Amino acid sequence: MRTIQDYRSAYADGAATPSSAIADVYGRIAAYGDAAVFIALRPIEAALADARALEGQGPQGRPLYGIPVAVKDNIDVAGLPTTAGCADFAYTPEVDAIVVARLRAAGAIIIGKTNLDQFATGLVGVRSPYGVPRNTIDPALAPGGSSSGSGVAVAAGLVPVALGTDTAGSGRVPAGLNAIVGLKPSLGALPTTGVVPACRSLDCVSVFAHSVADAWELFSAMAGPDAADPYSRQTLSAPARPADAPLRVGVPDAASRRFGGDALSEAAFDAALSAARAAGAALVPIDLTPFYATAALLYDGPWVAERYAAIRPFIEAQPEALLPITHGIIAGATRFSAADAFAGLYRLAELKAATSPVWADIDTLMVPTFPRPRTLADLEADPLGPNAELGTYTNFVNLLDLCALAVPGPARTDGWPAGVTFIGPAGHDADIADIAGRLFGTPGAASLPAPSAHGAVAPIELVVVGAHLSGLALNHELTSRGGRLLRAGQTTSDYRLFALAGGPPHRPGLLRVAEGAGRPIETEVWALEPQAFASFVAAVPSPLSIGTVRLADGSRPKGFLVEVEATHDAADISHFGGWRSFCAAPPQAQA
């Protein structure tokens, strides 16, 4: 089970319970065998106790009922040490961070604390005394930081969703380097009460997931001001732009494209641009010069002093407790004066004024998540240069009070990742989630659009096997309802396919049989909004019905099944492997 919908489906049809799901998570973590992903796990007995309590209460009013969540180890979880990647700094909080408390209230089950670049200082994922989590695409690559453990935990399928933080790109770079979704909300949308600050005025809690819809659900469950956080604010809203409005996507102009000389990454971004254009987006070249000038302020300007202020008593008392590279970066703040800080604020105001007119001409800015992947060997040779390069398209976002969402884009031809990030003004989180969900997909429920408001229900997956397949006679019944094709696949080998009597249009019937007594049948999985799904199901004629279908990828969406009585005078066509193959066969083979 990789997505929130996978868990919901398994709970709904009795294939799993929160207790069995949690036991499975701990088993997968042990089998994965990477001790650097988690700094601390909750005792399994504690997580199972939470699961059993949920089972006694039921899912009503708990939108994240039984969903396992991992938490970056600079975010407080009651009873577990918060280390921020530094053992000497560790303390054990008595209460959860407000975002964690809200997840628990929504029915989520916290699994443990994930690894990070020490004090959230880095975009590489290698600056931790607790080891380096393996990149899930290629172990030779950096996993990305600072939220390395959370990104890897989701990408490896250990948990469906995880919390990170993001000041300079830490919620986006690990997502891009591991080909998952990373949501960096508007500043203040998620309270940081109970989060160890990096730059408190710029910090965000971020979300890692396999789909835009899952990231948005987690965000929605946590969003809203908190009286204890003066930086928190109300930003959650429905998409502002009409769904049928022309989509204007800003992209780096020719002079603003930065790929570190890597032709494969540049070609992958060009493929992403082509995909966006093919999906109906109008591409608008944007000069990113003032954005890059803003990014330079984060580490070359006085904002590094805010990192020093965040841990000042600790770094002054125990400087030797920090990793040398972390200490060197944060201690560099001492070269800035109060006058430098004001000069930086004045310069930032100028750059905000220079960049803000851009948003009148575009609905979102689409950039590469990073110029190119960087390897562990690169960082061994140069610990600073590759880190700075990875932040090329991320460092300016929080300084300019923008929101961002990283999603996988077309991969490089060598298989290495090449993600894209959608950026928008503060408060436009729903807009960029909606745009990203429509233009780019990810595994599982990837192309589902984000829910448009707090508490909204995610779209529903529907398995089709016959005339509703793309391009066939009844496919219009899906597309006219706004259906979106998510993926093609197969059932498990527990089904048989029959050509039913009657028509036109001629239709098949999918029948579940004894385990292993059937064969895999070709399918497509579509997504429908709940209201559209309801109207579609209401029109399904007998002897067909909608039930739970077991797919070979482990998911269990709803889909077409047939009543057994209708198969008595129907031809068993299972050996064709699917309706398309049957329809393409000559008449004598169909007989």
Q: What is the pLDDT of residue 474?
A: 87
Q: What pLDDT is stored for residue 198 in this prediction?
A: 93
* 3-state secondary structure string across 438-478: HHCCCCCCCCCCCCCCCCCCCCEEEEECCCCCCCCCCCHHH
CB-side neighbour CA atoms (13 Å) of 518: 26
3-state secondary structure of 168: coil
Distances (CA, A) of 523 to 213, 216, 464, 467, 487: 22, 27, 6, 11, 9
Residues near 401 by beta carbon (within 8 Å), at least 6 away in sequence: 186, 187, 352, 425, 426
- Give the 3-state DSSP-derived string for 60-110, with helices as H, strands as E and coil as C: CCCCCCCCEEEEECCECCCCCCECCCCHHHCECCCCCCHHHHHHHHCCCEE
C-alpha to C-alpha distance for 180 and 233, rounded to whole angstroms: 27
Nearest to 205 by CA among 216, 221, 189: 189
**CA gap 364, 279 in Å, rounded:** 15
Residue 277 near residue 251, CB atoms below 8 Å: no
**b/e map 176-213, b = 16+ CB within 10 Å:** bbbbbbbbbbbbbbbbbbbbbbbbbebbbbbbbbbbbb
Contact (Cβ atoms closer than 8 angstroms) between residue 422 and residue 436: yes
CB atoms inside a 10 Å sphere around CB 308: 18
Helix (H/G/I), strand (E/B), else coil: 121: coil
Angle among Cα 315, 228, 342 to the nearest 5 degrees reads 55
Query: Where do the CATH 3.10.490.10 domains begin and end in the chain?
Result: 460-590
Per-residue pLDDT at 443: 37
Question: How confident is the prediction along the chain (591 residues), in pLDDT tens digits per residue?
Answer: 689 989 999 999 899 999 999 999 999 999 999 999 999 999 999 999 999 999 999 998 899 999 999 999 999 999 999 999 999 999 999 999 999 999 999 999 999 999 999 999 999 999 999 999 999 999 999 999 999 999 999 999 999 999 999 999 999 999 999 999 999 999 999 999 999 999 999 999 999 999 998 999 999 999 998 999 999 988 755 566 666 678 999 999 999 999 999 999 999 999 999 999 998 999 999 999 999 999 999 888 888 899 999 999 999 999 999 999 999 999 988 889 999 999 999 999 999 999 999 999 999 999 999 999 999 999 999 999 999 999 999 999 999 999 999 999 998 999 999 999 999 999 999 999 989 988 885 433 333 333 333 334 457 889 999 989 887 888 888 877 877 787 888 999 999 999 988 777 788 999 999 988 999 999 988 888 777 788 788 888 888 889 999 998 888 899 999 999 888 889 999 999 999 888 888 877 776
Q: Which residues pair with 551 in a beta bridge?
A: 491
Question: Which residues contact residue 498 at a Cβ distance below 8 angstroms, ignoring those fewer than 6 apart?
Answer: 508, 509, 511, 562, 566, 567, 570, 571, 572, 573, 574
- Is beta strand 281-286 parallel, antiparallel or unpaired with respect to 402-407? unpaired
Q: Is 489 helix (H, G, I), strand (E, B) or coil?
A: strand
User: Which residue from 414, 482, 408 is spatially nearest to 443, judged by alpha carbons?
Assistant: 408
Confidence (pLDDT) at 451 = 36
104 Cβ contact list (under 8 Å, min separation 6): 96, 110
- Report the length, in residues, of the chain: 591
Going by C-beta distance under 8 Å and a sequence separation of 6 or more, which residues neighbour residue 489?
Answer: 522, 523, 524, 525, 551, 552, 553
Of 142, 143, 131, 147, give the one whose Cα is nearest residue 203: 147
Class of domain 460-590: alpha beta
CA neighbor of 394 nearest in space, from 32, 16, 123: 123
Q: What pLDDT, on a 0 to 100 scale, did the predictor assign at position 229? A: 92
Q: What is the DSSP string of 126-144?
A: ---TT--PPPSS-TTB---
Tokens (6 digits) for 477: 């019944």
Q: Which residues are catalytic?
A: 72, 146, 170
Q: What is the pLDDT of residue 243?
A: 63
Q: What is the 3-state secondary structure (H, E, C) of 396-423?
A: HHHHCCEEEEEECCCCCCCCCCCCEEEE
For residue 393, give the amino acid letter.
Y
Rounded CA-CA distance 420/410 in Å is 9
pLDDT at 458: 57
Question: What single-letter DSSP state applies at residue 321?
Answer: G
Look up residue 171 and give its DSSP letter.
Answer: T
Element (H, E) at 495: strand 495-499
Q: Tell me, what DSSP letter sits at residue 202?
A: T
Apex 438 CA angle, 186 and 217, nearest 5? 50
Q: Could you tell me the two tokens for 83?
A: 């280390």
Domain with CATH 3.90.1300.10 in the chain: 4-439
Can you state the angle between helices 98-105 and 212-222, rounded to 10 degrees?
Answer: 110
pLDDT at 295: 95
pLDDT at 476: 82
Is-above-0.85 flag for pTM? Answer: no
| CATH architecture under which domain 4-439 falls | Alpha-Beta Complex (3.90)
357 upstream amide cis, omega within 30 of 0? no
Type of residue at 215: A
How many CB atoms are closer than 10 A to CB 532?
18
Q: Tell which residue, 577, 587, 455, has the closest CA to residue 64.
A: 455
CA separation for the pair 230, 197 (Å, rounded): 14
Element (H, E) at 560: strand 558-562
- Distances in whole angstroms, Cα of residue 135 to Cα of each of 18, 142, 390: 28, 6, 15
Question: CB–CB of 412/188 below 8 Å?
Answer: no
Determine the pLDDT at residue 450: 37
- Residues 152 and 308: their CA atoms lie apart, in Å, by 28
Distance CA 500, CA 566 (A): 7
Torsion angles phi and psi, residue 276, rounded to 5: -65, -40
